[in-house]
Structure 1
Amino acid sequence: MIKRTLFVLSIALLASSCDTLSNLVTSVYSEPTTAEIGSGLKSALEIGIGKGSDALSQIDGYFKSPYKILLPEEARKITAKLKNVPGFSDLENVILEKINRGAEDAAKKAKPIFVSAITEMTFSDALNILMGQSDAATQYLQQKTNEQLYQEFNPVIIESLDKFQARKVWSDAVAVYNKIPLINKANPDLGDYVTREALKGMFGMVAKEEQNIRTNVSARTSDLLRKVFAKQDKK
């Protein structure tokens, strides 16, 4: 009698476990709701932005990475001409390090700006992004927020450049360069250029993480992400 009772209990527990597993599988792989798609995409973007801004804000995050900010062509012409001028022989390397350090410093403040923009994404936008191109979310973020981010980011970049005296070094160099006869005068302001290059690198990191979460199943670290991106996998 006892054996029979234990057998019946075992069967009941097994059936219950199977039902739980079945419900879990159904929950993860069933068609996501519009609200779930919106939440899933926002979560994915926040993951990408978090990783991207954290990585770029580290020492050498820009300076020794694929997103290193290089001098514009006009600037390289200036550094080349000033190599033989006392005090400016290593100007290019000095400026390169300083502008990248400035961008790394500014990147620390980028995350909340991006996250704030993500929260404004509508459910309709989210569905179109999910079923769009592999970088559709990043494109959306650029189109909707790039100029706003610029306005927020530029003062931080300028403050950071000044913190490392990058603009002063550059301005001094341009002042010397502009005294050379028969040359086109150079713009001494690096702020705009560095800001746009820094944002380009930030969006590049976001795109990289978006691509990863779209194609790498193991990067979908929650049931919600797995459910939402399973819909994308079927398209």
Structure 2
Amino acid sequence: MRRLLILSLIISILGLQSCAGQKINLGKVLDGISKSTQGGGLSNDEVISGLKQALQVGINKGADSASKLNGYFLNPIIKIPFPPEVQKVETALRKVGLGGEVDKFVMALNRGAEEAAKEAKPIFINAILSMNFSDAWAILRGEKNAATMYLKRTTSEQLIAAFSPVVEKALQKTQATRYYTDLANSYNRLPFVQKVNPDLKLYATQKAIDGLFILVENEEAKIRENPWARTTDLLKKVFGSI
């Protein structure tokens, strides 16, 4: 019975279809898990703890990937480009031979995001550890990115507050602020252009956070597709192979 319940839970998490083409009834699976507690099977607490561990694995991988050298810069999925609202600045500067300076700025901008990403992991982990029974079951019942959506709802404000000063410091450390100031000044000196002065810190902060959520969402998808690959003793018990 226990093995059948575990198999049903895995099928529900993966969102697979039954032979009749209908989605597995997760409500029946949850009822079965609840009943299994009496017979020595998995308890609700074990299932929830297993989910939390699995999500922590995904978060650790996503945050570590973003915060390493070139985590943003060489990842085309999350690389931060020249601010799109002033794309005309990049185009104009490349035309007048300042493409190298533009490239230095983009690299420095991404280096700033990589530095700031180090602050994300404890915020994400705290959100997972604070997850209640209702939140966890909603994630199990939800879409393939339900955990990522939960993190967006519960951590975005904290991430912005934590990232903003770190991004500002990182942009100064990597000289992105100086590069951008020089680029903006060079552009503003060109004839017949409208002067620009966008909020670089706000742009970098939001793009850094967006990139983190993309990586976490990718890791969540892996967890749902192959949960037994995330090996701790508890995960083996909850998501163990049949």
Give the TM-score range, shorter chain. Answer: 0.7 to 0.9
Give the C-alpha shift of residue 39 in structure 1.
Answer: 1.6
What number of residue pairs does the alignment pair up?
Answer: 207
Query: How far, CA to CA, are the matches of 1:132 and 1:166 in structure 2?
Result: 40
Query: How far, CA to CA, are the matches of 2:109 and 2:101 in structure 1?
Result: 12
Match of 2:216 in 1: 206
Give the C-alpha shift of residue 83 in structure 1.
Answer: 3.0
Unaligned runs of 5+ in 1: 1-21, 231-235
Letter in 2 for 1:117: A
Query: How far, CA to CA, are the matches of 1:58 and 1:181 in structure 2?
Result: 41
Match of 1:36 in 2: 46
1:82 is aligned to 2:93: yes
> Is the alpha carbon distance of 1:138 and 1:227 closer, same or farther for their aligned partners in structure 2, counting shifts above 3 Å?
farther
The alignment's TM-score, normalised by the length of structure 2, stands at: 0.76
1:143 is aligned to 2:128: no
Give the C-alpha shift of residue 63 in structure 1.
Answer: 0.7
Query: How far, CA to CA, are the matches of 1:130 and 1:229 in structure 2?
Result: 13
Give the C-alpha shift of residue 228 in structure 1.
Answer: 4.5
Match of 1:172 in 2: 182
1:196 is aligned to 2:203: no
Query: How far, CA to CA, are the matches of 2:115 and 2:69 in structure 1?
Result: 9
Identity %: 44
> Is the alpha carbon distance of 1:189 and 1:217 closer, same or farther for their aligned partners in structure 2, counting shifts above 3 Å?
closer
Give the C-alpha shift of residue 181 in structure 1.
Answer: 4.4
1:221 is aligned to 2:222: no
Letter in 2 for 1:127: W
The alignment's TM-score, normalised by the length of structure 1, stands at: 0.78
What is the root-mean-square deviation of aligned Cα atoms in Å? 2.5
Instruction: Give the conservation status (yes or no) of the 8 Å contact 1:154–1:195.
Output: yes
Query: How far, CA to CA, are the matches of 2:119 and 2:159 in structure 1?
Result: 11
Q: 3-state DSSP class of the match of 1:197? A: helix
1:187 pairs with one of 197, 216, 226: 197
1:72 is aligned to 2:73: no
Give the C-alpha shift of residue 226 in structure 1.
Answer: 4.9
